[in-house]
């Protein structure tokens, strides 16, 4: 009787040990599995505003401080392709950025849609013209997000899925630009700032919907940028810069690491 109990106990102990080791082995294999990562998108993904641009990227201004490069440095993927480009619209992604995608691609990140909706022109209009003209231009951008942008996003997302059917795709959104009631004493009116923030939310909502319908993951950066908007006193976004207009309203290096990298890391 005692011997049978000892045998049963030993068998149970051995089985438990094997199961524990097997689980640990699976977890370790999963953790160390090679990842093939491709980073697509516009200037928010290429890193405009963060400095330290790769000269080989030319006008695309891909930065070593952009969130894709930071993720690569932290995670050591098996392969990394960085094709995001300043000024890119949805059509530019499908026409010129998808080359590195294959059936082996595991992870894709992308921010896109802001240039299609004309956000650069919105900001230029709001900075240089009247409040009424600013609000009218924002309304035009919102109408575009309703009528045209969803179809353009569908085209990009479908093309990504066709080339990289097994990849986890993380679609990153855009931050709100302004902290309302903040430290800014000049520039745009609070009504204009509020309308610009509302337009960013509107664009994010439309993008999140299209991403979800394609089975992609949406990465909302508004929460990570909260407290770091323009007028916050601790901005992770450049305000208008007349000496380097292209960096205006883009994330700083801190915005890329604290605002974008953290979201990608949590979603990848």
Give me the helix-helix angle, 149-163 and 131-147, nearest 10°: 50
Same domain, 141 and 209: yes
Same domain, 261 and 214: yes
Same domain, 17 and 57: no
Same domain, 29 and 54: no
CA distance 236 to 36: 29
Q: Yes or no: say if 111 and 168 are a contact pair by the CB < 8 Å rule.
A: no
Listing from the earlier edge strand, what are the strands of the sheet with 36-39? 79-82, 36-39, 107-110, 168-172, 217-219
Same domain, 107 and 196: yes
- Max Cα–Cα distance, the chain, nearest Å: 93
Same domain, 229 and 246: yes
Same domain, 181 and 191: yes
Which ranges of the chain have pLDDT less than 50? 1-22, 24-32
Tens-place pLDDT, residues 234-246: 999 999 988 888 9
The residues annotated as belonging to the active site are 43, 250
Q: Yes or no: say if 117 and 90 are a contact pair by the CB < 8 Å rule.
A: no
**How many domains, the chain?**
2
Using DSSP's 3-state secondary structure scheme, residue 39 falls into strand
Helix locations, the chain, DSSP H: 2-32, 43-46, 67-75, 90-96, 119-128, 131-147, 149-163, 190-213, 222-225, 253-254, 262-267
Domain containing 244: what range? 35-267
Q: Yes or no: say if 162 and 94 are a contact pair by the CB < 8 Å rule.
A: no
Same domain, 13 and 51: no
Same domain, 96 and 211: yes
Same domain, 56 and 27: no
The candidate with the shortest Cα–Cα distance to 100, out of 168, 164, 166, 33, is: 164
CA distance 61 to 112: 16
Q: What is the pTM of this model?
A: 0.87
Same domain, 89 and 6: no
The CATH number covering residue 109 comes to 3.40.50.1110
Scored b (16 or more CB within 10 A) or e, 37-75 reads bbbbbbbbbbbbbbeebbeebeebbbbbbbbbbbbbeee
Write down the pLDDT at residue 241.
85
Same domain, 68 and 133: yes
């Amino acid at each position: 009787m005692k011997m049978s109990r000892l045998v049963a106990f030993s068998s149970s102990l051995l089985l438990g040990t094997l199961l524990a080791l097997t689980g640990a082995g699976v977890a370790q294999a999963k953790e160390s599995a090679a990842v093939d990562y491709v980073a697509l998108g516009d200037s928010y993904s290429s890193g405009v505003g963060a400095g330290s641009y790769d000269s080989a990227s030319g006008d695309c201004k891909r930065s070593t401080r952009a969130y894709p490069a930071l993720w690569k440095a932290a995670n050591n993927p098996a392969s990394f392709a960085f094709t995001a480009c300043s000024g890119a619209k949805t059509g530019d992604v499908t026409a010129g950025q998808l080359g590195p995608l294959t059936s082996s691609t595991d992870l894709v990140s992308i921010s896109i849609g802001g240039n299609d909706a004309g956000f650069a022109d919105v900001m230029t209009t709001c900075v240089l013209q009247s409040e009424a003209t600013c609000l009218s231009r924002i309304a035009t951008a919102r109408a575009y997000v309703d009528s045209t942008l969803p179809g353009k996003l569908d085209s990009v997302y479908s093309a990504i899925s066709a080339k990289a059917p097994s990849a986890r795709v993380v679609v990153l959104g855009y931050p709100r630009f302004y902290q309302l009631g903040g430290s800014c004493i000049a520039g745009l009116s609070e009504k204009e700032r509020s309308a610009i923030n509302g337009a960013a939310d509107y664009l994010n909502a439309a993008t999140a919907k299209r991403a979800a319908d394609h089975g992609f993951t949406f990465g909302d950066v508004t929460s990570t940028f909260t407290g770091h908007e323009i007028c916050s006193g601790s901005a992770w976004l450049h305000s208008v810069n007349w000496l380097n207009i292209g960096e205006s309203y883009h994330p700083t290096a801190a915005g890329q690491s604290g605002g974008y990298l953290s979201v990608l890391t949590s979603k990848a």
